[in-house]
A and B are shown apart, each in its own frame.
Chain A
Amino acid sequence: MLTYIVRRLLGIIPMLLGITVLSFLVIKLAPGKPVMLQYSLNPKISLEEIRRLEKLEGFDKPLHIQYLNWLKNLSRFNFGRSFSDGRPVTEKIIERLPVTLAINILSLLFIFAIALPWGIKCALKEGTFFDNASALTMFLLFAAPTFWLALLLMQLFCINLGLLPISGIASLDFEYFPWWKKLWDLGRHMFLPVLVSSLGGFAGVSRYMRSNMIEAMNQPYIYTARAKGLSEATVIYKHALRNAVLPIVTIIGLSIPGLLGGSIIFESIFAIPGIGRLFYEAATMRDLNLIMAEVVLVAILTMLGNLIADIAYAYVDPRIRYGKR
């Protein structure tokens, strides 16, 4: 177990290098000079001014030197300044990160709280009307574009029913609310974003849980459990469930890129000031430092998510946790 963890931790070093090199190249190999790109919208800027800015950003040096400088800064969490307003990129990201993390973590909780029991129920009712109807629903959810579902839900909840606010994360007079009303207000604003970002994962996780559970119920040890005279409930919820649920741990890691990618779209739709929307703004304004920083950040988050999920899985599965004697 310990050697496994150490090996995995050492494995992230080349991964980190790869991630940074790739992020760097993606931005740098683009045709056109970055400073030009940045100021291409501004016709008044002179050629000397561009030279001066290039020198300031270090763009006149050879590529590998630029990379090493960037890497050095990166290790100190210094991603340079945003081209659009001159503020440090790190500051802008840290400001926006909590909202995105909160929504994604809530979504994950929401997905698992519903998808796991749902998948189990489908497995136990395999082949019935309930199972088939749910398979069809999940198939539809899987195929629907998230942003379209968001639009439809906005239409339903915010306009037709008038139940929920249409965008933002808090009301204008939020500051003056007592704490319970603040909570209620946040909940009302968060409900649709969390729901929308959960739908795709919900379909995936419930189908996965269903097939795991069906597989577990067909394992030899289930015969043993029945042969002992255990009640069907104990057979299902003790012997099958634990086996079916363990691999789900790794799914948490695998669903991170999807959730973070989804953040770009639903944060833009619901006007939520998170890193997804920040990235969208950076992309539309070609704010290269910000783009680079965010690409590296989400890649590292994804990698860490996978790493933690793998280690957690090794911990919960006794076959890996305690090797052979």
Chain B
Amino acid sequence: MGNLLEIRNLKVNFNLDDQVITAVDGVDLDVREGEVLVLAGESGSGKTVTALSITRLLPRTAEIVSGSVMLRGKDLARLSEDSLAAIRGKEIAYIFQEPSSFLNPVYTIGNQLLEAITLHHGKDKEEALKEARELLALVKIREPERVLLDYPHQLSGGMNQRVFLAMALACRPKLLIADEPTTSLDVTVEAQILQLLMELKMRLGFSLLFITHNLSIARRIADRVSVMYKGEVVEEALTEDIFKAPKHSHTRELIRAYEKIGRL
């Protein structure tokens, strides 16, 4: 399998009032076609910043100092803002940690979903609405008509994450980046969403870059695992290898901690 995405020597700084903090320090990362890569690590290790850097979605204070982000031979780090906007949502889509706050509270689900559908290819309203219903069915939402008219605060966190997933898949992206998408949900809902995600991956064939601090999720879904620690990737291996024979001391510590509480 070839590489869909190749990140080389990525370095991101945060320029704060009185100091510069290096959040990502020389990260190399490959995502292969059709695989599930889990980017694991504790909070603050630079996972999210790495993920946001891929399409330059960083906050204002952050700055990509060096590195390249190649998507099938195109360097995203060198693209203009406009060309990058054409890739966001269309080729690379995101789902986030707290779906309820990542959806806009003052627009209906329908409005936000249609926006994603019509943005990258012009469709008339009828077609787009049809597509929206299909997408909601795809993520197994039972009453699509009602949900289209709802506002995010009227739905549960799990429902909102399904809506978010539908929105992200609207343009059939090649890469889906999921940043702790189940962390804010109940365990049962978490299991449902994970299952849905894996099912859709099989059906639609996108690559999944899944970010989590939770090693038991990593073990369940990953083809390969990359472990980040203090802004660097310290270990990268096939899932079974990494849990059988972790090489880096930090990985060993993480795994031991999980074994102790019997959650692995």
> Interface residues, chain A, CB within 8 Å of chain B?
218-221, 223-232, 239, 242-243, 246, 317-319, 322, 324-325
Contacts and interface: CB of A to CB of B under 8 A. Distances in A.
B210 interface: no
Contacts of A318: 105-106, 108, 151, 153
Contacts, number: 79
B55 to A, nearest CB: 7
27 contacts: A220-B96, A220-B98, A223-B52, A223-B57, A223-B96, A224-B164, A226-B57, A227-B57, A227-B88, A227-B94, A228-B88, A228-B93, A228-B116, A228-B119, A229-B120, A230-B89, A230-B119, A231-B85, A242-B104, A243-B104, A243-B106, A317-B106, A319-B105, A322-B153, A324-B153, A324-B154, A325-B155
A221 B119 contact: no
Contacts of B57: 223, 226-227
B11 interface: no
B90 interface: yes
Given A230-B119, A239-B104, A224 B96 contact: yes
Majority SS at the chain A contact face = helix
Given A318-B106, A318-B153, A325-B155, A221 B101 contact: yes
Contacts of B103: 221, 224
B153 A229 contact: no
Q: Which 9 A-B pairs have the closest CB atoms?
A: A229-B89, A229-B88, A228-B89, A221-B104, A227-B94, A220-B102, A318-B151, A325-B154, A220-B101
B101 to A, nearest CB: 5
Interface string B27-57: 0000000000000000000000000100101
Contacts of A223: 52, 57, 94, 96, 102
A230 B150 contact: no
A139 B119 CA distance: 42
A109 to B, nearest CB: 24
A88 to B, nearest CB: 48
A324 B150 CA distance: 10
Given A221-B104, A223-B102, A322 B154 contact: yes
A323 to B, nearest CB: 8
B198 interface: no
B65 interface: no
B107, B108, B155 interface centre (most CB from chain A within 10 Å): B107
A54 B68 CA distance: 91
Contact of A232 (B59, B81, B86, B89): B81
Contacts of A230: 85, 89, 115, 119
B88 A322 contact: no
Nearest to B170: A228
A120 B104 CA distance: 19
A322 B107 CA distance: 12
B135 interface: no
Contacts of A325: 150, 154-155
Contacts of A226: 57, 88
Given A229-B85, A229-B90, A229-B119, A224 B104 contact: yes
B85 to A, nearest CB: 5
B165 to A, nearest CB: 12
A221 B115 CA distance: 14
A319 B153 contact: yes
- Which of A229, A318, A325 has the most CB atoms of chain B within a 10 A radius of its CB? A229
A239 B88 CA distance: 17
Contacts of B155: 325
Contacts of B96: 220, 223-224
Interface in B73-123: 81-82, 85-90, 93-94, 96, 98, 101-108, 115-116, 119-120
B93 A227 contact: yes
A322 B93 CA distance: 30
